[in-house]
């Protein structure tokens, strides 16, 4: 008679016993007491670039007993899981669509001569998370050519926009030859960076102070790349998580932005649940196409420039209700996923908003902003001065501190939001 081996007491022991044939998500069964008390902190940032119609988004009353607006009523049973803000924006951003590049950075005057962007909120959080996960950051977009993510030197990081390719990167493993090819690529990248480091040291002695600073910024970025390459190499030979969901089917209809948003939200939930990443940003890029929504006969961009035309506003509200419904379903999915005695939403800060307060006039004041989950005490409307707006960067500082980043400043934000408990 044989007896079965006792169940390993930790996730690490289980994986070692199983010869690392399966990568597991965070499981409370194998969690230590410390891990149960403090499961991973996560952050998701979502920006819809054509704004959200103010009268349908903002409540008219501040505090906890506010009456839900048209859009917030769609969130229904999630009321105690989010805080809505008004009278908040990025100072000195300026107007028009260029502001989308600054939504997560707070950098001023993107149309100004010599403009240089700064590091984005998601990148700052990802740097803190380091190589704890296979992907320190996932930057996603509903369309090609747009991103919210910027490096420490202000360089834009291209966003992934094809759902099936994102799924493959997260969960599908290539054959042995593919793995060896990837390792060779990483090693080659490391040797190139090593050689470049010596050249920069020699070059610096011949440069002006301004040029030396630019080179320093660039070499700092290279060092970050080296660290990431080393982390990538360590992850290449580790198995990817196994999920039950089938790979998403890419839509060929470019106008179906809401359908693509739903796919990206589902991928985000899977990535967080399997601890493949802890930081995700989703750019809901605006379109000059008519979305496939009943009752909508004009393109989204044209509707956003409604000029207070009631017929256009009604169609715009239909488009934005679809967006808000997709985001509601995402928040519900996080809330309904148990983790460590709580839920995935409890450990995930979800920022939802736009770079435009009034898309019709390209106004960047009074932005529609909502913060859900993450362990905050929600269920309130924090109303700032509609003319002298509170810097949105203060919310970013609060989010970074909640994520574990020891900082009291981010971009134009100094200090935290005092009423965000």
Q: What is the predicted pLDDT for the residue at 245? A: 87
Domain boundary among 199, 216, 238: 238
Q: Is the pLDDT of residue 5 over 50?
A: no
Q: Pick from 238, 266, 285: which residue ends a domain? A: 238
Task: Identify whether residues 185 and 206 lie together within a single domain.
Answer: yes
| Inside any domain, residue 269 | yes
Cα 190 to Cα 130: distance, rounded to the nearest angstrom:
18
Calculate mean pLDDT across residues 262-274: 96
CATH number assigned to the domain comprising residue 355: 3.40.720.10
Which of the 8 DSSP states describes residue 416?
-
Confirm whether 33 is domain-assigned.
yes
Does residue 197 fall inside a structural domain?
A: yes
Claim to verify: residue 198 and residue 49 sit in the same structural domain: no
Average pLDDT over residues 308-315: 96
Tell me, yes or no, whether 419 lies in a domain.
no
- Centre a 10 Å sphere on the Cβ of residue 156 and count the other Cβ atoms it contains: 15
Closest by Cα among 249, 236, 261 to 135: 236
Domain end call among 238, 267, 287: 238
- In the beta sheet, which residues pair with residue 42? 348
**Residue 12 has what pLDDT?**
45
Give domain status of residue 420, yes or no. no
Q: Are 260 and 251 in contact (CB under 8 A)?
A: yes
| Predicted pLDDT of residue 233 | 73
Classify residue 421: in a domain, yes or no: no
pTM of this prediction? 0.84
Same domain, 104 and 60: yes
- Cα–Cα distance for residue pair 104/122, rounded to 1 Å: 7
Domain check: are 357 and 391 in the same one? yes
**Domain annotation covers residue 216:** yes
Say whether both 233 and 249 belong to one domain. Answer: no
Whether residues 307 and 162 fall in one domain: yes
Spatial distance between the Cα atoms of 168 and 178, rounded to a whole number of angstroms: 13
Query: CA torsion angle for 181, 186, 191, 194 (degrees, to 10)?
Result: 170
**Domain check: are 14 and 45 in the same one?**
no
148-152, 243-247, 259-263, 264-268: segment of lowest average pLDDT: 243-247
The average pLDDT across 266-285 equals 96
Are 50 and 7 part of one and the same domain?
Answer: no
Do 223 and 299 sit in the same domain of this protein?
A: no
More confident call, 142 vs 215 = 142
Residue 156 pLDDT: 92
| Reported confidence tier of residue 197, pLDDT bands at 50, 70, 90 | low
Same domain, 162 and 124: yes
3-state DSSP of 51-105: CCCHHHHCCCCCECCCCCCHHHHHHHHHHHHEEEEECEECCCCCCCHHHHHHCCC
DSSP bridge pairs for 342 = 339
294/403 same-domain check: yes
Residues 28 and 118 grouped into a single domain: no
Q: Is the pLDDT of residue 208 over 90?
A: no
**Which residue range(s) make up the domain with 209?**
174-238
């Amino acid at each position: 008679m044989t007896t079965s081996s006792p169940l390993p007491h930790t996730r690490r022991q289980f994986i070692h016993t199983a010869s690392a044939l399966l990568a597991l998500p965070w499981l409370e069964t194998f969690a230590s007491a410390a891990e149960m008390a403090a499961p991973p902190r996560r952050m998701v940032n979502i920006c819809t670039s054509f704004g959200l119609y103010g009268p349908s988004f903002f409540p008219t009353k501040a505090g906890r007993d506010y009456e839900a607006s048209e859009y917030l009523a769609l969130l229904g049973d999630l009321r105690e899981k989010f805080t809505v803000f008004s009278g908040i924006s990025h100072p000195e951003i300026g107007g028009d669509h260029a502001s989308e590049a600054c939504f997560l950075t707070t950098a001023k005057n993107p149309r100004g001569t010599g403009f240089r962007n700064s590091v984005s909120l998601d990148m700052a959080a990802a740097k803190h998370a380091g190589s704890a996960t296979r992907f320190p950051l996932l930057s996603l977009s509903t369309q090609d050519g747009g991103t919210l993510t910027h490096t420490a030197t202000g360089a834009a990081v291209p966003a992934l926009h094809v759902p099936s390719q994102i799924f493959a990167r997260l969960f599908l493993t290539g054959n042995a030859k593919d793995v060896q090819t990837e390792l060779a690529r990483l090693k080659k990248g490391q040797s190139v960076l090593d050689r470049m480091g010596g050249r920069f040291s020699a070059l610096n002695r011949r440069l002006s102070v301004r040029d030396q600073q630019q080179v320093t910024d660039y070499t700092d970025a290279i060092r970050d790349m080296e660290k990431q390459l080393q982390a990538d190499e360590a992850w290449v030979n580790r198995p990817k998580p196994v999920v039950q969901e089938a790979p998403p089917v890419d839509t060929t209809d470019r106008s179906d932005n809401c359908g693509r948003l739903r796919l990206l939200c589902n991928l985000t939930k899977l990535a967080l649940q399997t601890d493949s990443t802890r930081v995700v940003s989703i750019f809901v890029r605006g379109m000059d196409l008519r979305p496939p929504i009943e009752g909508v006969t004009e393109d989204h961009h044209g509707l956003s420039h409604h000029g207070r035309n009631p017929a256009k506003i009604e169609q715009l509200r239909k488009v934005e209700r679809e967006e808000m419904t997709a985001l509601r379903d995402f928040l519900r999915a996080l809330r309904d996923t148990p983790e460590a005695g709580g839920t995935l939403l409890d450990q995930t800060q979800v920022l939802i908003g736009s770079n435009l307060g009034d898309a019709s006039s390209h106004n960047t004041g009074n932005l529609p902003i909502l913060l859900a989950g993450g362990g905050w005490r929600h269920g309130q409307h924090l109303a700032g001065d509609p003319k002298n707006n509170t810097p949105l960067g203060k919310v970013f500082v609060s989010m970074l501190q909640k994520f574990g980043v020891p900082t009291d400043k981010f971009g134009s934000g100094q200090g935290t939001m005092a009423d965000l408990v």
